[in-house]
Chains A and B, each alone.
Chain A
Amino acid sequence: MKIERYDMIVVGAGPAGLSAAIEAAKRGIKPIVFDENQRPGGQLFKQIHKFFGSKEHKAKIRGFKIGEELLAEAEQYGVKVVLNATVIGLYPEKEVTVRIGDEVKHYKGDAVLVATGAAENMVNFKGWTLPGVIGAGAAQTMMNLHHIKPGNRVLMLGSGNVGLVVSFQLLQSGCEVVALADAAPRVGGYGVHAAKVSRCGVPFYLSHTIVEAEGTDHVTGVVIGQVGPDWKVIPGTEKHFDVDTICLAVGLSPMSQLLKQAGCKMADTKGGYVPVCDEDGATSVPGVYAAGDVSGIEEASSAMIEGRMSGATIAEYLGYITKEEKESRVNELEAQLDTLRQGMFAPKNRGKLVEKTEEGIDVSMNLLEKGYVAQDEIERYPGVTKSKGIHPVIECTQNIPCNPCQDACKMGCIMIGKNITSLPAVDSNHKCIGCGMCVASCSGQAIFLVEEDVEPGYGEVTMPYEFLPLPEVGDKGMAYGRDGREVCAAEVTKVRTSKAFDHTNLLTIKVPNEMLMTARFYKAK
């Protein structure tokens, strides 16, 4: 039996696995990475939105671009990535059997890192097996990898970041999202993600669940209903929608079967069924490590840092670096990870209702319950100011770890400070020149430029716009509020696209002065 041997075998070429291999390769290890998919990068290649965080976390770069960067880096450091390589099992002596092409190969590693990511959770209701009921991941795969619309009229179940981001992507692909429902009483994901879906006209139904998927051979409709405190549907609250697709985004679970099969000690935790790991990511089986979602569900940004930590740890385990070198690198990475794990959505706040921001401002309940910040709530946030002349209006109302807007403004108008979860504030001592860099750099698409009295009685609102067809100057249409309702007629006065904006176009519309703090989206007539 031929067994190929490597210092380090990585299972999964997603953000964690690739990062670990790169980090290890930088220390002189020649790792081999297996991935069952045709393309590396894991879920990054389906993520077309800009990431949060700060520069070190690759903030404001789109997921699939981060994937490309990681691949280039992997290539640069000589990481061997084998695709269409399905791992069959992980056996004693750190042996991995892998299907490659039409055969099975045996590999042994001195260290094995399992970075297999996560799988979607599912929820069952009447008709959930009908064709047309799909996972949110399936929707992403279809539209972002295979260029096909998952459906024409879609209902999304789940208001976590996945549900919100995928809803927006569905809209970008030209699908209609008729409603977003969630059994939870409050939006689970970032408020900025909710707000951008909401202003496109998608109604949010919190405390609602699916009663039934209708159809005989495939989905033709859906009924949702309001749930009471016992999580049961309150009779009489049922609402019907004509849809051809129901998209489920009800959370993720670690895909930890390989670690379990290998005999690693497992634990059933809030983050899912995960291997018991020490602080270095080492499992109970010596030489077997875990990183990324497989060891607990988080964002891709954290998975990349965790992967790097594993890479450094394994480099030390295999004697390529000293303990001191490893510790200094791990400490540096830990600091990066810590900043990502701060704010309202920090792991420690999971499931908790945070009512005040770090600044002591009341969190918008309307945002949590309906998906958008109400008109009478918006002005209490430090990014929302009124002044003469063009200035940014930053509708960023929750403490999330993100600061590209601060870096984007060359004029120093935007202040976040050292703590990247702080709400951005507008400094009126600095003069905004209307360059729009902040609008394009905001991963949450929460920044607008507002200018009063561009002509008598009328002002302009500049907004991020990521849809096709792109409106043209002179087009006339309607402006929409944060709640997605029509507010007034609007005329397109400027359309800016630029490489620096990275596909976030800046659309400027002219509306009556009194609508400047209301109009947040535009649709052609």
Chain B
Amino acid sequence: MSRVADTIIIGGGVVGCAAAYYLAKAGNSNVIVLEGTKSIGHGGSSRNGGGVRQSGRDVRELPYAMYGIKNLWPNLSEELGVDTEYTQKGNLRLGKTEEHLKKLNTLASNAQSVGLDVRMVDAKEVKEICPYLADDIIGASWCPTDGHANPLTTTLGYYKRSLEMGVKYYTDAPVKELRKIKGKVRQVVLNDGTVFEGESIILAAGYESREIARTVGVDIPMTRLIDEALVTEMQPHMFDIMLGTAGGDFYGHQAHHGSFVFGSDSGYEVVTDMKDPSAMETNSLTLSASCRAIMSYVPALKDAKIVRSWAGWLDNAFDGVPFISRVDEAPGLILACGFTGHGFGTAPAVGLMLSQMVAGEETVVDISALRYDRFKPIR
């Protein structure tokens, strides 16, 4: 006997939970969410640095990133009844070399062209915005409407609220395959053989989405990459802005709690060959490399103690922007994956748009550039 709902969402991360919430909010609460592990938000949703930013993004992402910040984030805590710690105090993307500035400038002008308030600032202004930064920073891009939030409570907030609204959740429910019924993707089969059935199937399972989509003959061009993050002990309040760098050295912010959360890498992760991917092990080099990166930009944090570090998989799309798309040859299937490590900040907007796609409505912004079949051979 199969378990039936209007919509089956594969993946209990922030995107899956947000989609479930916006579906329920629109009155479509006949939704089942399947999480492969025992915990909601086990993957990247709880492992990222909490950036809610527009600056630095590909122009294809900007419309919905901007939409979310304008329309969804401001009231999210109230809507969910959980403190998402959303803080909109701006984002500095720092540069130390001319090359960095060139890169930041290109990104900034591209973003300006689609209407984002982002501009280049010089070393002096950087210090005015955040006096704790290093002296060798020569400039930055500054986006005052960017910010950060707590990815843990945001993800769990979407879960909690949608659960209260009647969405059905199953954890420890790893998906083995999708099945077409009369040409339409309708069934989701778990490893244990349980079958779920729905009119629409949203696939939001991070990198695992690739294996799952393959079972109905769809290949999504993405790879996976492990990345690390760390958190300090509680510190006296220093700043509220989000930080990033042109070189990609690190990114992060000070959480409401007082601790600093930073994501970073050692460069070594790209060759990590993890025997058991589900273990998401940190490696022996990254913690130290991350500290060097952070201290070179925020020297004031040298005495802050790290209490924990962790790792998580990125689902890296071949061109760095996600796949949010219906699939022509697999009707019924909606992809929401390939977020490439920056999906948290856009998750509310993506969740909302997924709910609209299920309902057959027009999405709040045009996302045709995120179609699954956008890639072409280069030669």
Q: Which residues of A contact B (CB under 8 A)?
A: 1, 88-89, 91-92, 95, 97, 104, 106, 263
Contact B282 A89 (CB under 8 A): yes
- The answer to whether B285 and A263 have CB atoms under 8 Å apart is no
Judging by beta carbons under 8 Å apart, are A95 and B281 in contact?
Answer: no
**Nearest CB in chain A: distance from B289 CB, A:** 10
Which residues of B lie under 8 Å from residue A104 when comparing CB positions?
Answer: 288
The distance in angstroms between the C-alpha atoms of A89 and B311, with both chains bound, is: 14
A91 in complex: contacting residue of B275, B276, B283, B288, CB < 8 Å: B283
> When each residue 271-300 of chain B gets 1 if its CB lies under 8 Å from chain A and 0 otherwise, what string results?
000011001011111011000000000000
A263 touches B279 (CB 8 A): yes
Shortest distance in angstroms between A430's beta carbon and chain B's nearest beta carbon?
64
Q: Is the CB of A89 within 8 A of B284?
A: yes
Complex alpha-carbon distance, A106 and B286, angstroms = 13
- Report the minimum CB–CB distance from B345 to chain A (whole Å): 30
- A91-B283, A92-B283, A97-B288 given; 17 more Cβ-contact pairs under 8 Å: A1-B285, A88-B287, A89-B282, A89-B284, A89-B287, A91-B281, A91-B282, A91-B284, A92-B275, A92-B281, A95-B284, A97-B287, A104-B288, A106-B284, A263-B276, A263-B279, A263-B281
Q: In whole angstroms, how far apart are the Cα atoms of A104 and B289 in the complex? A: 12
How far does the alpha carbon of A1 sit from the alpha carbon of B285 in the complex, in Å? 9
Q: From DSSP, what is the main secondary structure of chain B's interface residues?
A: loop
User: B282: nearest residue on chain A (CB-CB)?
Assistant: A89
The answer on a CB contact under 8 Å between A97 and B284 is yes
Can you list 5 pairs linking A and B with CB atoms under 8 Å apart? A1-B285, A91-B283, A91-B284, A104-B288, A263-B276
Highest count of chain A CB atoms <10 Å: which of B275, B276, B284, B287: B284
- Least CB distance from B272 to A in Å reads 9
| B283 proximity list for chain A (CB < 8 A) | 91-92
A91–B272 Cα gap in the complex (Å)? 12
- Within B243-297, the residues touching A (CB, 8 Å) are 275-276, 279, 281-285, 287-288
Q: Which residues of A contact B279 (CB under 8 A)?
A: 263
Contacts of A89 in B (CB 8 A): 282, 284, 287
Question: In the complex, which residue of chain A has the Cβ closest to the Cβ of B283?
Answer: A91
Closest CB in chain A relative to B94 CB, distance in Å: 26
Name the residue on A nearest B279 (C-beta). A263
B284 surroundings in chain A (CB, below 8 A): 89, 91, 95, 97, 106
Min CB gap A197→B, angstroms = 39
How many Å lie between the Cα of A106 and that of B287 in the bound state? 12
What is the distance, in angstroms, from B113's C-beta to the closest C-beta of chain A?
44
Question: Smallest CB-CB separation from B288: which chain A residue?
Answer: A104
A92 to B271, CA, bound (A): 14
Write the B19-52 contact mask toward A (1 if CB under 8 angstroms, else 0). 0000000000000000000000000000000000
Least CB distance from B283 to A in Å reads: 6
Inter-chain CA distance A89–B282, complex, in Å, is 9
Q: Which residue of the partner chain B has the closest CB to A93? A: B284
Bound Cα distance A237, B283 (Å): 55
Q: Which residues of A contact B282 (CB under 8 A)?
A: 89, 91
